[in-house]
């Protein structure tokens, strides 16, 4: 443990002495902000009233220093629709939601799958916002429908953008800008128990990950 602390201090000292704060705003952040702003105005054909809420992640969002070597390879964005919400199994749907949510929201229930770390998201409730006090009332929905990543694909069954792992990939090399990986997601107001080990999980490189 002492060796790990010593190594951490050595790396920290090295970075502080050899790196500088990036110019603000950096070119990468400007590109990322432009992409997120343009994504907000896009609507899926099946979700005309839904807005995409982007969340900038990865090196563009997390690096506050500028190393000697290039460290940003692409722009990573997570996005969720303001018409979808996930809740843990057995929980009652909320009566109040953040302002970014639509007045009509479908609620998906988080259910364990046969694979660790993976879950099913069956459609369980429909939320409707009342006009008198702004609170939501819910109605049970039970037809066996499940949310799938294909909800972010076109009606033809083909992806809108090429798939890059779990992300939808946009290649901007022809216009000399960073490529973009967008990972579709569903907003959950509490941390799911299935992801309890995520902040300190071991990666394939056998290193601790202390954040998302």
Q: Is the pLDDT of residue 156 over 60?
A: no
Give me the residue label for tokens 């939601």.
97
The residues spanned by each domain of the chain are 20-189
- Averaging pLDDT over each range in 26-35, 44-53, 87-96, which range is the top one? 87-96
What separation in angstroms does the CA of 7 have from each of 4, 10, 71, 74, 105?
5, 5, 21, 29, 48
Q: Is the pLDDT of residue 204 over 70?
A: no
More confident residue, 80 or 70: 80
Across 97-125, average pLDDT: 90
pLDDT at 123 (0 to 100): 92
Q: How confident is the model at residue 155 (pLDDT cuts 50, 70, 90)?
A: very low
Q: How confident is the model at residue 111 (pLDDT cuts 50, 70, 90)?
A: very high
pLDDT at 58 (0 to 100): 79
pTM of the model: 0.69
Across 128-156, average pLDDT: 73
DSSP reduced 3-state for 42: coil
pLDDT at 48 (0 to 100): 65
Q: Is the pLDDT of residue 33 over 90?
A: no
More confident residue, 159 or 173: 173
% of the chain residues with pLDDT over 70: 70
Q: How confident is the model at residue 180 (pLDDT cuts 50, 70, 90)?
A: confident
Across 183-204, average pLDDT: 82
Least confident of 7-11, 54-58, 172-176: 172-176
pLDDT at 93 (0 to 100): 93
Nearest Cα neighbor of 51 from 62, 41, 59 is: 41
Mean pLDDT of the chain: 77
Residue 3 CA to residue 99 CA, distance in Å, equals 47
Nearest Cα neighbor of 137 from 127, 147, 122 is: 127
pLDDT at 3 (0 to 100): 57
pLDDT at 208 (0 to 100): 41
């Amino acid at each position: 443990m002492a060796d790990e602390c010593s190594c951490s201090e050595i790396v920290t000292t090295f970075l502080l002495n050899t790196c500088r704060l990036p110019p603000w705003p950096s070119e990468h952040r400007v590109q990322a902000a432009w992409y997120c702003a343009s994504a907000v105005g896009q609507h899926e054909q099946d979700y005309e009233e839904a807005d995409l809420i982007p969340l900038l992640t990865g090196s563009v969002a997390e690096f506050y220093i500028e190393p000697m070597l290039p460290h940003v390879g692409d722009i990573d964005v997570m996005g969720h629709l303001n018409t979808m919400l996930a809740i843990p199994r057995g929980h009652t749907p909320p009566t109040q939601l953040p302002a970014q949510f639509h007045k009509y929201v479908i609620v998906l229930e988080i259910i364990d799958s046969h694979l660790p770390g993976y879950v099913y998201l069956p459609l369980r409730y429909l939320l409707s916002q009342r006009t008198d006090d702004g609170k939501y009332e819910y109605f049970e929905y039970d037809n066996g429908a499940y949310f799938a990543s294909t909800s972010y694909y076109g009606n033809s069954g083909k992806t809108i953008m090429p798939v890059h792992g779990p992300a939808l990939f946009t290649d901007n090399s022809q216009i000399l800008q960073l490529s973009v990986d967008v990972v579709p997601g569903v907003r959950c107001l509490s941390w799911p128990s299935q992801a309890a080990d995520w902040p300190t999980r071991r990666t394939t490189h056998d290193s601790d990950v202390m954040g998302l």
